[in-house]
Amino acid sequence: MNKDAIIKLVNEQMWPKTDADVPSFKAGDTITVSYKIVEGNKERVQSFRGVVIQIKGSGKTKMFTIRKISNGVGVERIFPLYSPHIDKIEVNKIGVVRRARIYYLRDLTGKKARIKEKRMTRTEKK
């Protein structure tokens, strides 16, 4: 067995998720991530809904950062895209932004922090 075959085998064992399991989204989109949390011998699913402010990395090590405002405080959380703890990812809104990393959202509050939503036509909805 050559080195590439061994690396491929290990990657398949560590990351059982494939690209088909993960929806496509980009910076500016509002998504909900359902994340499994293990506390002792109990397991529960917690959802985190916010705006994607960046996607970084490539391949199986790709990560994305989500930002939301909770009780007037900005909260950001970084998720590995292919984490086995992520139960599901739902895309709620498709945003229109001109940047790949929208860090300027951190300085904005209130109505200024809103992102325009992409309008869907009838042919795109199918």
- pLDDT tens digits, 33-90: 999 999 999 999 999 999 999 999 988 889 999 999 999 899 999 999 888 889 899 9
Task: Give the CATH number of the domain where residue 84 resides.
Answer: 2.30.30.790
Q: Which two tokens stand for residue 96?
A: 């229109």
What domain range includes position 44? 1-110
pLDDT digits (tens, 9 = 90+) for 79-123: 998 888 898 999 999 999 999 999 999 998 888 888 888 887 777
Number of independent structural domains in the chain: 1
Confidence of residue 19 (pLDDT cuts 50, 70, 90): low
- 31, two tokens: 């998504």
CA torsion sign, 6 to 11 to 17 to 22? negative
124 within domain boundaries? no
On the question of pLDDT at 5 being above 90, the answer is no
